[in-house]
């Protein structure tokens, strides 16, 4: 493995070893910060070593053994990150779990992983774990970070983070050579040992536990650091779920290998302010975050004064024309360069400042396709935003966009050390040092995903373009054919529609049918502000969604997409024939979305079967009643008559001309 030589030359091959190294080399540099009690509480690397060591020793005292699984549940907090390394130092395996998953989901994961210990954030999580002690019989000890409300609980098996650390500290005082012994304990670990188990949320079936070794993570992280020249001076904001591979790599693996600082926000309410304060130099977000930021910008600008809006529009025009070229180092007329400089002062700079991206060195978006308009918007401001394509099974990195080779519709070239190929079925496959060890207690799945010689099925259909960049079309299994044989890639259509800010979510149907029909979810922020400006009155989401003016607007968007599709030879056959606007927002609480906010197609097909039926039987509308879960957990139902509209189609050849008119 080529990349390993340079990257792994220092620091060690497991996180506990890297920790020792960092405490030594970066001792006084800040390693973690957390906005807590109003200020950014900070820890240097040597302090972090100390914290992790005492906690680790405390866990050992509580009886944590090599090979034990430890659940980590909660939002991004330094202590939870430390817990993972503390567990690893004892030879245990941390299992981060999505903190907002419902008890049932969590119980399955914890039971499957056979966790013995759990380190959790607060009372809410403790309650959740206590409620599932029947399902999770292996669970013995629970450690919590936040003591609030837990005073009166029985503490025989429940410990606060501090008391565990005190335990460790006491032992350390009693036996001063314990520190030495602790380091000794993990010096024998190798890169091949399992470092962490991450459960993939999976759009279908039960979650699977992906076992990643230290090598997987450490080498991938070092390659990533080298690729973007990341070093100990970076600042990142850890705000994505800890159970997600993205966060694990960015906020732990890369942070440890590069030695940079991880900042945990105060709460999800304050994230915008926290990002503004920290101004991360390396930022990672799914497209959704960028979309929301852009929507917020546009909505706010709508409320700005006329002059300001004019100025904004003018300079955004300049940015569209010249911004990306300047970022890519291309030739730009002097006048545009000057205007861009002016725009930087008046608009781009302040805009980046408000988003907290002033210091951004490189930003990534991944997880889903990002709208080309959105992508271009950020890049035209001079932000080095790039796309990457990755998976839990690959320790994130499969392909990356190198600096200067940014194309909106592709996800980049293979990352360092990654081999890529397209299977005969059209499915993308890869082989890399980051390839996972296997699925925990699920050899069958492991075998069907990972070939004997180490190639992994991504499950995505894609093509490699002439310039060597990978282009993803859809999930391999979702790509289907219409009854007339034309290619139907639902995600492709959905994404095209979702790139309109007014549309939040789309579900396309058509496999095996004679035409394409779609469900559309409007974006409440965007459409709501549109309604306000246009004096459209509405009392509820449902009313807004069914409003004729809204329908008209959406119809325009669908028409635009059909035109676009007609221009692409492979996709022209699958234009949208009929659509409807859903009366309720798709929601993870109702099981319609995954916890990472991806559409659960089959579930929706089942739940809204009558609507699908109506899409294809030519009716103009359909009455439907749907069960919903309210925020407080109550179950209720809403009903509505949903209108269905027909759309004209464009011919594949003439579509181009019409579009050009």
Partner 1 sequence: MFYREAGQFKTSYEKDQALFPIRQDKIGLGVILLIAFVVIPLTANDFFLASIMIPFLVFSLAAIGLNVLTGFCGQLSLGTGAFMGVGAYAAYKLTTIFPDVNVILLVLTSGIFSAIVGAIFGLPSLRIKGLYLAVTTLAAQFFLEWCFIRIGWLYNYNASGAIEIPTREMLGVVISGAEATPLARYFVVLSITVVIAFLISNVLRGRIGRSWMMIRDMDIAAELMGIRPLQTKLMAFAVSSYICGVAGAMMVFFWLNAAEPSSYSITLSFQILFMVILGGLGSVGGAFMGAAFIWILPIVLRAIPSMLGVDIGAETVEHLAFMVIGALIIFFLIVEPHGFARLWQIAKQKLRVWPFPY
Partner 2 sequence: MNAYVGAEKLPVAGDPEREELLRVDNVSLSFGGVKAITDISFDILKGEIRAIIGPNGAGKTSMLNVINGFYHPQEGTITWQGKVRRKMKPYEAASQGIARTFQNVALFKGMTTLDNIMSGRSLKMHKNFFWQLLWRGPAEREEIEHRRKVEDIIDFLEIQAIRKTPVGRLPYGLQKRVELGRALAMEPDLLLLDEPMAGMNLEEKEDMSRFIIDVNQEFGTTIALIEHDMGVVMDLSDRVVVLDYGKKIADGPPEEVQASQAVIDAYLGVSH
Q: Find the part of the chain contacting partner 2 (CB under 8 A) among 79-87, 153-161, 326-334, 576-584.
A: 153-161
Rounded CA separation 88/193 (Å): 10
Q: Does residue number 297 form part of the binding site for partner 1 (CB under 8 A)?
A: yes
Least spacing, CB of residue 347 vs partner 1, in Å? 6
Touching partner 2, residues 618-657 (CB under 8 A): 632
Q: Does residue number 41 form part of the binding site for partner 1 (CB under 8 A)?
A: yes
Structure tokens at 413: 């070239």
Least spacing, CB of residue 595 vs partner 2, in Å? 23
Residue 620 interacts with which of partner 2, partner 1, none, CB < 5 to 8 Å by class:
none
- Tokens 């006329």 correspond to 306
Least spacing, CB of residue 392 vs partner 2, in Å? 30
329: left (phi over 0), alpha (psi -120 to 50) or beta: left
Q: Does residue number 293 form part of the binding site for partner 1 (CB under 8 A)?
A: no
Which is nearer to partner 1, 294 or 520 (by Cβ)? 294
Rounded CA separation 37/132 (Å): 32
Q: Helix, strand, coil shares of the chain as percentages rounded to 5?
A: 40, 25, 35
115-120/141-144 β-pairing: parallel
Rounded CA separation 508/489 (Å): 9
Relative orientation angle of helices 548-566 and 490-498, to the nearest 10 degrees: 130
Instruction: Sort 298 into a burial class: Cβ within 10 Å, 0-12 / 13-18 / 19+.
Output: middle
Residue 276 interacts with which of partner 2, partner 1, none, CB < 5 to 8 Å by class:
partner 1
Structure tokens at 581: 């606007």
Which is nearer to partner 2, 151 or 306 (by Cβ)? 151
Which is nearer to partner 2, 267 or 602 (by Cβ)? 267
Give the max Cα distance, the chain.
Answer: 84
Q: Does residue number 29 form part of the binding site for partner 1 (CB under 8 A)?
A: no
3-state SS, residue 488 = strand
Which is nearer to partner 2, 625 or 634 (by Cβ)? 634
Binding partner 2 (rule: CB under 8 A), the pick from 153, 227, 455, 538 is 153
Residue 226 interacts with which of partner 2, partner 1, none, CB < 5 to 8 Å by class:
none
Which is nearer to partner 1, 303 or 589 (by Cβ)? 303
Q: Find the part of the chain contacting partner 1 (CB under 8 A) among 51-59, 277-285, 450-458, 551-559.
A: 277-285
Which segments of 523-652 are extended strands (E)? 576-581, 621-629, 635-646
Q: Does residue number 41 form part of the binding site for partner 2 (CB under 8 A)?
A: no
621-629/635-646 β-pairing: antiparallel
Structure tokens at 548: 């004729």
Residue 358 interacts with which of partner 2, partner 1, none, CB < 5 to 8 Å by class:
partner 1
Q: Does residue number 320 form part of the binding site for partner 1 (CB under 8 A)?
A: no
Binding partner 2 (rule: CB under 8 A), the pick from 63, 149, 317, 350 is 149
Q: Does residue number 40 form part of the binding site for partner 1 (CB under 8 A)?
A: yes
Residue 142 interacts with which of partner 1, partner 2, none, CB < 5 to 8 Å by class:
partner 2
- Mask: binding to partner 1, 334-373, rule CB under 8 A, as x and -? -----------xxx-xxxxxxxxxxx--------------
Q: Does residue number 266 form part of the binding site for partner 2 (CB under 8 A)?
A: yes
Rounded CA separation 213/189 (Å): 11
Q: CB atoms < 10 A from the CB of 564, how many?
A: 17
What phi, psi does 452 have (nearest 5°)?
Answer: -55, -40
Q: How many residues bind partner 2 (CB under 8 A)?
A: 23
List of residues 6+ apart from 523 with CB closer than 8 A: 295, 501, 502, 503, 504
Footprint of partner 2 on this chain (CB under 8 A)? 36-38, 130, 133, 139-140, 142, 148-149, 151-154, 156-158, 266-267, 269-270, 273, 632
């Amino acid at each position: 493995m080529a990349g390993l030589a340079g990257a792994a030359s220092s620091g060690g091959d497991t996180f506990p070893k890297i920790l020792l190294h960092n405490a030594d080399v970066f001792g006084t540099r800040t390693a973690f910060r957390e906005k807590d009690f109003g200020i950014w509480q900070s820890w240097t690397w040597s302090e972090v070593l100390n914290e992790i060591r005492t906690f680790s020793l405390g866990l050992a005292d509580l009886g944590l053994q090599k090979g034990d699984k430890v659940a980590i549940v909660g939002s991004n907090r330094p202590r939870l990150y430390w817990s993972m390394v503390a567990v690893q130092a004892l030879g245990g395996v941390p299992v981060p779990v999505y903190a907002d998953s419902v008890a049932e989901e969590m119980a399955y994961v914890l039971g499957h992983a056979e966790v013995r210990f759990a380190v959790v954030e607060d009372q809410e999580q403790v309650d959740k774990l206590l409620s599932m002690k029947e399902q999770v019989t292996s669970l013995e000890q629970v450690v919590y970070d936040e003591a609030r409300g837990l005073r009166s609980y029985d503490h025989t098996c429940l410990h606060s983070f501090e008391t565990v650390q005190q335990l460790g500290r006491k032992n350390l005082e009693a036996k001063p050579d314990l520190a030495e012994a602790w380091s000794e304990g993990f010096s024998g670990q190798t890169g091949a040992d399992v470092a962490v188990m991450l459960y993939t949320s999976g759009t279908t079936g039960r979650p699977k536990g992906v076992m990643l070794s230290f090598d997987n993570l450490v080498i991938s992280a070092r390659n990533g650091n080298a690729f973007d020249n990341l070093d100990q001076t970076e600042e990142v904001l850890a705000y994505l779920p800890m159970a997600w591979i993205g966060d694990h790599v960015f906020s732990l693996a890369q942070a440890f290998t590069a030695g940079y600082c991880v900042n945990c926000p105060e709460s999800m309410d304050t994230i915008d302010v926290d990002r503004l304060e920290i101004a991360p130099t390396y930022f990672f977000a799914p497209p959704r975050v960028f979309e929301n930021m852009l929507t917020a910008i546009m909505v706010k600008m709508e409320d700005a004064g006329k002059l300001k809006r004019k100025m904004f529009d003018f300079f955004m025009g300049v940015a569209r024309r010249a911004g990306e070229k300047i970022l890519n180092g291309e030739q730009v007329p002097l006048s545009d360069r000057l205007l861009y400089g002016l725009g930087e002062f008046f608009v781009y700079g302040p805009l980046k400042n408000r988003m907290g991206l002033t210091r951004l060195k490189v930003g990534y978006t991944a997880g889903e396709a990002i709208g080309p308009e959105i992508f271009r918007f950020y890049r035209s401001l001079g932000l080095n935003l790039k796309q990457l394509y990755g998976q839990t099974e690959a320790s994130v990195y499969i392909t990356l966009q190198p600096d200067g080779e940014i194309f909106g519709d592709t996800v980049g070239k293979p990352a360092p050390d990654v081999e890529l190929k397209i299977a005969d079925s059209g499915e993308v496959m890869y082989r890399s040092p980051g390839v996972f060890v296997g699925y925990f207690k699920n050899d069958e799945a492991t075998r069907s995903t990972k070939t004997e010689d180490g190639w992994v099925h991504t499950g995505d259909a894609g093509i490699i373009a002439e310039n060597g960049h990978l282009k993803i079309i859809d999930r391999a299994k979702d790509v289907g054919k219409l009854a007339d044989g034309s290619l139907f890639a639902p995600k492709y259509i959905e994404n095209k529609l979702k790139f309109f800010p007014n549309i939040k979510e789309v579900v396309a149907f058509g496999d095996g049918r004679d035409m394409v029909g779609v469900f559309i979810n409007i974006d409440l922020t965007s459409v709501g502000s549109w309604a306000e400006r246009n004096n459209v009155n509405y009392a509820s989401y449902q009313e807004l969604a069914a409003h004729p003016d809204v329908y008209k607007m959406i119809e325009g968007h669908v028409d635009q997409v059909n035109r676009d599709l007609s221009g692409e030879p492979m996709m022209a056959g699958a234009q949208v024939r009929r659509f409807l606007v859903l009366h309720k927002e798709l929601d993870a609480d109702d099981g319609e979305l995954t916890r990472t906010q991806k559409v659960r197609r089959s579930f929706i097909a089942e739940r809204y079967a009558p609507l699908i039926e109506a899409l294809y039987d030519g009716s103009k509308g359909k009455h439907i009643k749907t069960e919903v879960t309210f925020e407080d957990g109550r179950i209720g139902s809403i009903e509505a008559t949903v209108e269905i509209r027909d759309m004209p189609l464009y011919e594949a050849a003439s579509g181009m001309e019409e579009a050009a008119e």
